[in-house]
Every structure is written in C-alpha cells, then in structure tokens.
C-alpha cells in the first residue's frame, strides 16, 4: 500500500442554493509528486455509505500533459446534490484507507 499524499485545508459544508437546493461541497488541497497530476475526489463505491456518512475516494489522475517532478499542492473539489441534509461526516479515503475525517458544516 502506498503512502497517501499530503493534504491541507480540507473542509466539508452543506451549501443552500435557492433554485438548485442543498449541495454537499468538499474542498481542500493535495500535494502531488508531479505537476501533471491532479487530485480527483469521487464517491466511494466500495465502502458502505451509512445514512449520515459520505466516503470519498481520493485518487491522482495524470493529465497527459508535460510535467515536472516537483511536489506541489493542487486544489481538490467535490460537489453533490442532496435530497436531505442528513450527512454529517465525510471521510477521505486513499486506496481504501481513511486519511481524513471531516465534520460537515451546516448552513446558517
């Protein structure tokens, strides 16, 4: 199992948009070993999704562009429409292992 990348500034919140309804928003930064790799957050298909929990897989995707071997942070973003505001916890997974647990901030 490989060592997970460094992460910083991750937060999860419920965002209320008037016409679009409630959305789960997760954002932060991920350190990648090459400038042509981008972090991707996607809903985990392997982990059971409890009613109040959302598990997100963190992967690194090669953009196919030229890059340099320089460690640098890239923004990571996830957004999902929700039917109800029951999600309270988001876990970030790296190759099936929890690397960060976030409490979801509710709208005021």
Output the six-digit token pair for 76.
Answer: 């990571």
pLDDT at 16 (0 to 100): 85
What are the tokens at 101?
A: 């647990």
Region label for 86, one of left (φ > 0), alpha (ψ between -120 and 50) or beta (otherwise): alpha
Q: How far apart are the first and last CA of the chain?
A: 41
* Residues 12, 91 contacting (CB under 8 angstroms): no
Tell me how far apart the alpha carbons of residues 82 and 14 are, in angstroms, rounded to a whole number.
9
Residue-wise pLDDT for 67-97, tens only, equals 667 778 999 999 999 877 789 999 999 999 9
Per-residue pLDDT of 5-25, as tens digits, reads: 999 999 999 998 766 788 999
CA distance 23 to 12: 10
Q: What is the helix, strand, coil percentage profile of the chain, to 5?
A: 0, 60, 40
Residue 58 has pLDDT above 90, yes or no: yes
């Amino acid at each position: 199992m490989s060592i997970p990348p460094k992460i910083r500034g991750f937060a999860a919140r419920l965002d209320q948009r008037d016409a679009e309804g409630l959305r789960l928003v997760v954002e932060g930064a991920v350190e990648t070993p090459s400038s042509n790799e981008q972090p991707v957050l996607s809903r985990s298909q392997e982990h059971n999704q409890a009613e109040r929990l959302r598990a997100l897989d963190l992967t690194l995707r090669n953009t196919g562009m030229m890059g340099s071997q320089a460690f640098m942070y890239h923004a990571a973003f996830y957004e999902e429409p929700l039917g109800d505001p029951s999600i309270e916890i988001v876990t970030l997974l790296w190759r099936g292992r929890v690397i960060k647990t976030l409490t979801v901030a509710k709208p005021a």
